Amino acid sequence: MTDYYAILGVPRDATPEQIKKAYRRLARELHPDVAGADGEERFKDVARAYEVLSNPEKRQQYDMGVDPTAPGGGAGGGFGNGFGFQDIFETFFGGGAAQSGPVPRARRGQDALVRLDIDLAEAAFGTKRELQVDTAVVCGTCGGNGCRPGTSVRTCEVCHGRGNVQRVARSFLGQVMTTSPCPDCQGFGTIIPEPCADCSGEGRVRSRRTITVNVPAGVDTGTRIKLTAQGEVGPGGGPAGDLYVEIRERPHEVFVRRGDDLHCTLPVPMTAAALGTVLELETLDGPQEIDLRPGTQPGQVVTLKGLGVGHLHAGGRGDLNVHIEVQVPTGLDEEQTELLRALAKLRGEERPDPRLAAAHPGVFSRLRDKLSGR
């Protein structure tokens, strides 16, 4: 079993303060930025020893002959406050060698968003549309590397390709090396001596192009269609982001949409409502017959199944709900007036019952009021 007391250079009866002091001294001496790459493994051993000996429970296990850091040897790695030696390493000294390499020039591009206006029929049945989009594309002159044709990138003479520079800084641990991006190459490790004239070394240019968008049935205002890798090409000719097409549905002059159902109002003469009739209604699917039963009442709804908007994530379609609006005749001539009086007399309605009834507004009336803000 590893002798953690020997690694820290403290006796087995060392106090917590002695253990902490020994750890800090060794951490300053063995940090890779000070001692080089050879010191990194020793530093990890010191941090692991401190992980065990600074935790009373783990130290007790260790003193009993059990290494808590070994597989199956204890409650798992980490200090009492939840940090492991790797966390301590990064807290004291930054990201370490794994984060000190040069930054790649080619990076993923941003996502893009465009808006597409469509009609109700296109939303109901789906459609295919062509869009003109203005996005960044790979530079055709340099192929994305940012260099003038015939030239290439050059290793940075300041950081020698590392992408970062090191400086000595003072901290509570004493003098330590700090690492920061190279100011000459901005962390890339290379320099473009002769940038491409068309993209100025970016590896990408803006261009207008045409793309085809398949709009599925059932989309609504606010629906976003994702086109993978159709967005902005990244710097250095990096992979493109995604393009999102946001749908905006234009209002229809007849139909009002609510979810996947459609609503409309059909004015019907009083006589037709009373006697019944068959009317022809122009729908999104073409002419459809509506059979009005005798005695059709104002506000009655006739539902035409499956004539609404297609369901976006399932098969089938919504319904078309036709709200009947009975029209009371005005401007009657003498003959028409006499006929209505005769009908009223036959039905005993010359003096109707004045009793009031509770108001029950129709579904479409409430929908219309809501849409108009009343």
Alpha-carbon separation of residue 223 from 122, 234, 244 (angstroms): 14, 26, 10
142 is in an annotated binding site: yes
Question: Which of helix, strand or coil describes residue 274?
Answer: helix
- β-strand partners of 115: 246
* Ligand-binding site membership of 147 (annotated): no
Q: Which amino acid is at 128?
A: K
Is 264 annotated to bind ligand?
no
- Host H or E run for residue 268: strand 261-269
Instruction: Kindly state the tokens that stand for 357.
Output: 């009834």
How many other C-beta atoms can be found within 10 angstroms of the C-beta atom of residue 47? 21
**Which helix (H) or strand (E) segment is 289 a member of?**
strand 286-292
Instruction: State how far the Cα of 300 lies from the Cα of 4, in Å rounded to an integer.
Output: 87
Residue 133 and residue 58: Cα distance in Å, rounded? Answer: 62
Structure tokens at 191: 């320099």
Q: Are 46 and 7 in contact (CB under 8 A)?
A: yes
Instruction: For residue 182, say whether it is annotated as part of any ligand binding site.
Output: yes
Q: What is the DSSP string of 198-259?
A: TTTTSSEEEEEEEEEEEE-TT--TT-EEEETT-SPPBGGGBPP--EEEEEEEPPPSS-EEET
**Binding-site annotation: residue ranges for Zn(2+):** 139, 142, 156, 159, 182, 185, 196, 199
**Binding-site annotation: residue ranges:** 139, 142, 156, 159, 182, 185, 196, 199
